[in-house]
Amino acid sequence: MAGITAVYSAQIGGGGLPAAYYLVVYGGSVNAGQGATTVVKSFHTGLGSIPILGIALNTPGAAGQPVTVQLSGIAQCVFDATGNSGSGGATAGDFVGNSSGYDGECTDLGTTYPTSGQVIGVVLSPIPANQVGYVYLLGPDVQASSGSGGATGATGATGATGAQGLEGNPGPVGATGVTGATAPAGATGATGAKGATGATGNTGPASTTPGPAGPTGLTGATGAAGGSSNVYKVGGNTGGSGSGAVGSPLQSGATISGTSTVYFITDQATVTLPAASTAGQHLILIDNDPSNIAAKFTVNASGSNKINDGTTNSSTSGVTSDISFNSMELVSDGNGIWWVFENN
């Protein structure tokens, strides 16, 4: 620690053997014959005019061993539980003194310089009760005391008038005044007399230059669109075997892709319709062997879709599966339902 330190011989007396972070006093002041080179721990009662020397920086093992004492500057001290207006510990900036309740401990004397007892130093940081904290030691000092105040001195003569100060800055510009009311409009003057008609001018020479061409006429309306094509695309599936063309009909387990219109189905095969999510989508399904009148094929709806078949061959509604012996035509309503309007 910065400041002044000195080494003394530890003795037993007063508050006991010196210890680190506790206050010490001269041993000779307590026990006659110990001399000025010895120190003992400070004590909390009967200290009287014996001054605090400083704070021990180490704990000697026995009497006669050396102990280093911080006389001034920054040091650490144990604070009691009774100072600081009874709450114990210490508040930064308060004065430090000897504890009146615990041997060798520091105590918070408050923010006002005391009128009695020795002021050891100043608290540097907040410290809880019974804990070690930093203080700034002022060094060995006289006991604080309050002397009587002297008489008030006579009032001195009035001093000369000081020089005139500099001129202040200009004040801010005042606010703009309110605009005055607009005057009423004057009366309209009388209409002047009509002037005489001027003489007719001479006729100009005839022009020999043709006039400019007229603007281009508007474009005629677009003609009506031609009729829609009636060509159907054949084949297309997702999964299963067979392309759906005439020579490669869809096999059982195939899912119709819906990208074409006409699909050929193998006898007795079961295929799955595409999702009925596009209104007006048209499918034509044809058995690839119409000569086998005993055969048939089955179609299943996709996911939660349904099939409505109102033909005489089936006449079913809201089903998930339907059959056909030769051919079937279906249209999607775009809301998950395939409507069968031909089933042969």
Considering the domain architecture, whether residues 134 and 29 belong to the same structural domain is answered as: yes
Give me the phi and psi of 127, to 5 degrees please: -135, 130
Considering the domain architecture, whether residues 4 and 139 belong to the same structural domain is answered as: yes
Residue 161 belongs to a domain: no
Answer with the one of 143, 165, 189 that is the final residue of a domain. 143
Instruction: Report whether 257 contacts 234 (CB < 8 A).
Output: no
Nearest to 309 by CA among 292, 293, 285: 285
Nearest to 49 by CA among 142, 128, 129: 142
Considering the domain architecture, whether residues 117 and 252 belong to the same structural domain is answered as: no
CB atoms near residue 115 (< 10 Å): 9
pLDDT at position 48 is 62
Answer with the one of 95, 128, 143 that is the final residue of a domain. 143
Considering the domain architecture, whether residues 14 and 134 belong to the same structural domain is answered as: yes
pLDDT at position 173 is 87
Q: Which domain holds residue 108?
A: 1-143
Would strands 66-70 and 5-10 be described as parallel, antiparallel, or unpaired? antiparallel
Considering the domain architecture, whether residues 128 and 20 belong to the same structural domain is answered as: yes
Answer with the one of 126, 143, 160 that is the final residue of a domain. 143
Q: What is the mean pLDDT of each run of 10 residues along the chain (344 residues)?
A: 86 88 85 75 76 94 95 96 93 95 94 91 96 92 55 74 80 83 80 80 69 67 43 60 76 89 90 94 88 82 92 76 88 94 84
Residue 69 belongs to a domain: yes
Query: How many domains does the chain fold into?
Result: 2
Considering the domain architecture, whether residues 8 and 130 belong to the same structural domain is answered as: yes
Would strands 282-287 and 262-265 be described as parallel, antiparallel, or unpaired? parallel
pLDDT at position 149 is 47
Residue 203 belongs to a domain: no
Return the HEC string of the chain: CCCCEEEEEECCCCCCCCCCCCEEEEHHHHCCCCCCCEEEECCCCCCCCCCCCEEECCCCCCCCCEEEEECCEEEEEEECCCCCCCCCCECCCCEEEECCCCCCCEEEEECCCCCCCCCCEEECCCECCCCEEEEEECCCCCCCCCCCCCCCCCCCCCCCCCCCCCCCCCCCCCCCCCCCCCCCCCCCCCCCCCCCCCCCCCCCCCCCCCCCCCCCCCCCCCCCCCCCCCCCCECCEECCCCCCECCECECCCCEECCCCCEEEECCCCEEECCCCCCCCCEEEEEECCCCCCCCCEEEECCCCCEEEECCCCCCEEEECEEEECCEEEEEECCCCEEEEEEEC
Residue 112 belongs to a domain: yes
pLDDT at position 180 is 74
pTM, entire model = 0.43
